[in-house]
Amino acid sequence: MQGREALPSQDDGERREGETRHVPVMLRRCLDLLGPALDKPGAVVVDCTLGLGGHSEALLKAHPEVRLIGLDRDTEALRLAGERLAPFGDRATLVHAVYDELPDVIARLGIDGVQGVLFDLGVSSMQLDEADRGFAYAQDAPLDMRMDQTTGASAAEVLNTYAPGELVRILRTYGEEKQAKRIVSAVVRERAKEPFRNSARLVELIRDALPQAAKRTGGNPAKRTFQALRIEVNGELAVLERAVPAAVRSLAVGGRIAVLSYHSLEDRLVKQVLAAGAANTAPPGLPVVPERYQPRLKLLTRGAELPTEDEVAENRRAAPARLRGAQRIREDVA
């Protein structure tokens, strides 16, 4: 990650219900990045992480002719965003889908190439704020963590059924947790006595398992484990690996993509895809570079852009955000 190499607090995300709760992250900059591609007849923009619709609402207001496709795997988010975006009528089409399904969604809607794509990754504020979703380590709740509660295994099922080695891998890879073995040993010992169901027991276990030195820095000692479980439960990185290249392929020439990431694992994937698209792929030594080797993308941000101090003061959940953008400048050539 460019800038601060940090794991998020449970404050990553943006979407908050109502104007008093919902402060979209880096909204002005997202509008500036996407805007030049959207002021044309028939322009379509896809909000791949609709949440409560704050970014989508702003895009629809800023570009009165644009059509918006909003994707979210969370059925409750779709319901609430639908209420928010109802005044825009058929300009907004909301779809229950994971964001790597973008190509299939636009194909079903008869759309051949879009002018804008926005990702606001991570867990949403609505999911953090609703205690019964189990994302937040600051309050006791069932260990669910599924963004789409209609499918898949919960965090409790992961904790109670995964082999110890697999749990260690998840905590190390997705949470960058140096004390993974200590935590997993405690989990395995405790789940043999009684299965895990609620978050408070897990938080207490983590506090007890960590050495004092590890508890003195980095905020709540449970945050890395909760992040790792959330990523595993929702397959976030695997989905993202598919989604960003698919979004780039879905852009029409001149179209733009903006991606907000909240931890180094996400940002690294986004950086790799956009950098690869902006690179010359010709073998060295060619006197003339054939078109098929020319870059498909032009980077619109220098590294990852950070929120301003004012943005963080207005919305503390913006603090770990990293924004990258690119423009499609060339079709794929076989």
**Tell me: the pLDDT tens digits for 164-219?**
999 999 999 999 999 999 999 999 999 999 999 999 999 999 999 988 766 666 67
Contact of 91 with 67, CB cutoff 8 Å: yes
CA 183/CA 191 separation, integer angstroms: 12
CA 54/CA 51 separation, integer angstroms: 8
Examine the pLDDT at 28 and tell me if it is beyond 50.
Answer: yes
Go through the chain and tell me how many residues it has: 334
Examine the pLDDT at 6 and tell me if it is beyond 60.
Answer: no
Give the model's confidence band at 332: pLDDT under 50 very low, under 70 low, under 90 confident, else very high. confident
Boundary of a domain, candidates 234, 249, 284: 234
Per the annotation, binding residues are 53-55, 72, 99, 120, 127
> Do 31 and 111 fall within a single domain?
yes
Is 29 a domain residue? yes
Is 131 a domain residue? no
Examine the pLDDT at 64 and tell me if it is beyond 50.
Answer: yes
Give the model's confidence band at 241: pLDDT under 50 very low, under 70 low, under 90 confident, else very high. very high
Examine the pLDDT at 330 and tell me if it is beyond 60.
Answer: yes
Contact of 105 with 112, CB cutoff 8 Å: no
> Do 104 and 174 fall within a single domain?
no
Q: Report the CATH number that the domain containing residue 75 is assigned in CATH.
A: 3.40.50.150
Pull the structure tokens for residue 196: 């895990």
Residue 223 vs residue 215, higher pLDDT: 223
Per the annotation, binding residues for S-adenosyl-L-methionine are 53-55, 72, 99, 120, 127
Is 8 a domain residue? no
> Do 155 and 226 fall within a single domain?
yes
Q: What per-residue confidence (pLDDT) applies to 151?
A: 85
Residue 58 vs residue 9, higher pLDDT: 58
Query: What is the residue range of 213's domain?
Result: 140-234
Q: What per-residue confidence (pLDDT) applies to 315?
A: 86
Provide φ and ψ at 122, rounded to 5°.
Answer: 85, -175
Provide φ and ψ at 244, rounded to 5°.
Answer: -65, -45
Residue 153 vs residue 293, higher pLDDT: 153
Is 185 a domain residue? yes
- What is the total count of domains within the chain? 2
% of the chain at pLDDT higher than 90: 70
Residue 213 vs residue 95, higher pLDDT: 95
Quote the mean pLDDT of the chain: 87
> Do 241 and 323 fall within a single domain?
yes
> Do 85 and 174 fall within a single domain?
no
Examine the pLDDT at 1 and tell me if it is beyond 50.
Answer: no
> Do 117 and 258 fall within a single domain?
yes
Is 9 a domain residue? no
Is 298 a domain residue? yes
* Average of per-residue pLDDT across 97-108: 96
Is 3 a domain residue? no
> Do 210 and 253 fall within a single domain?
no
> Do 262 and 307 fall within a single domain?
yes
Residue 55 vs residue 211, higher pLDDT: 55
% of the chain at pLDDT higher than 70: 86
Boundary of a domain, candidates 234, 266, 301: 234
Query: Using alpha carbons only, what angle is made at residue 98 by residues 307 and 323, rounded to the nearest 5 degrees?
Result: 15
> How many CA atoms lie within 13 Å of 278's alpha carbon, on the beta-carbon side?
18
Lowest mean pLDDT among 37-51, 63-77, 166-180, 205-219: 205-219
Residue 34 vs residue 220, higher pLDDT: 34
Contact of 247 with 269, CB cutoff 8 Å: no
> Do 28 and 108 fall within a single domain?
yes
> Do 121 and 259 fall within a single domain?
yes
- Identify the helix (H) or strand (E) that includes residue 69: strand 67-72
Q: What per-residue confidence (pLDDT) applies to 23?
A: 79
Query: Using alpha carbons only, what angle is made at residue 193 by residues 135 and 187, rounded to the nearest 5 degrees?
Result: 45
Q: What per-residue confidence (pLDDT) applies to 131?
A: 53
Instruction: Tell me which residue of 66, 75, 18 sits closest to 46, measured CA to CA.
Output: 66
Q: Report the CATH number that the domain containing residue 185 is assigned in CATH.
A: 1.10.150.170
Give the model's confidence band at 67: pLDDT under 50 very low, under 70 low, under 90 confident, else very high. very high
Boundary of a domain, candidates 174, 204, 234: 234
Highest mean pLDDT among 21-25, 72-76, 166-170, 311-315 belongs to 166-170
Is 162 a domain residue? yes
Lowest mean pLDDT among 75-84, 126-135, 237-246, 291-300: 126-135
> Do 272 and 294 fall within a single domain?
yes
Q: What per-residue confidence (pLDDT) applies to 138?
A: 65
pTM of the model: 0.84
> Do 212 and 189 fall within a single domain?
yes
